Amino acid sequence: MDSSAKEREREVSSRRTSEIVAITASAGGVEALSQVLSELPPDFPLPIVVVQHLDPHHPSMLPEILARRCAIAVKQAEDGDALKPGTAFIAPPDQHLLVNADGTMSLSHSDLVHFVRPSADLLFESVAASHEDGTIAVVLTGTGSDATMGVQAVDKMGGWVIVEDPETADFAGMPRAAVETGAVDEVLELGEIAGRLVALAGDGGRREYDAGRAE
């Protein structure tokens, strides 16, 4: 985190509360998402939006796979869906997923970003714009550089960025690219991420990490 960001964090008060979790993964993501989401309690208090890079030419079974493994609700996002606490909304194949300021989601078939659709960059940027410092962004295993612009947008708005440790991720490309932006707050082992999300989702956890960022 650069000096200006650190100075900004010294001004952060305990008024900040987490509002939404945005997660992305690519290669190796099904198992990584399964581990993180299955360890969240059914009363997890925040909505979750997910971009997993998928084959654009086939229907996705990912929501059904995750739903069988998770205590939280999991569904494929539909245009106009309203965000709901304790629910993970999965971007459908070949559609960008965007979060709107009114608490709804939109789907778009606009151009590929970093050669992919859905794009983590577009998701993270939309969440940062709509939820500002209430955003928690998570980058899991994957190849390529999707999410690099997105994590910088989240960081600029005062959100919190967690990245799976590239040294232990199944595919290090996306996590390493995110870390190299300098916009990442925590690099964690995969098994630590769900517990950290639970801590950050509560007011106490949010105040705790605000204090940590100000040090």
Tokens linked to 191: 């098994």
Choosing from 81, 121, 133, 146, which is the catalytic residue? Answer: 146
Distances (CA, A) of 205 to 3, 19, 37, 154, 201: 24, 13, 19, 18, 7
Quote the pLDDT of residue 60. Answer: 74
Angle at which helices 120-131 and 148-156 cross, to 10°: 10
β-strand partners of 97: 107
CB of 137 closer than 8 Å to CB of 151? yes
Choosing from 53, 96, 114, 131, which is the catalytic residue? Answer: 53
Interatomic CA distance for residues 43 and 105, integer angstroms = 21
Interatomic CA distance for residues 38 and 98, integer angstroms = 24
Q: How many DSSP H helices and E strands does the chain contain?
A: 8, 9
Active site residue 203: no
| Model confidence band, residue 112 (pLDDT cutoffs 50, 70, 90) | confident
Q: Which stretch of DSSP H or E encloses residue 122? A: helix 120-131
Number of CB atoms found within 10 A of residue 89's CB? 23
pLDDT tens-digit map of 57-93: 666 789 999 999 999 999 999 999 999 999 999 999 9
Choosing from 18, 26, 119, 130, which is the catalytic residue? Answer: 26
Active site residue 26: yes
pLDDT tens-digit map of 15-51: 458 999 999 999 999 999 999 999 999 999 999 999 9
- Give the domains, in start order, of the chain with CATH numbers: 3-210 (3.40.50.180)
Active site residue 109: no
- Average pLDDT, whole number, for the chain? 86
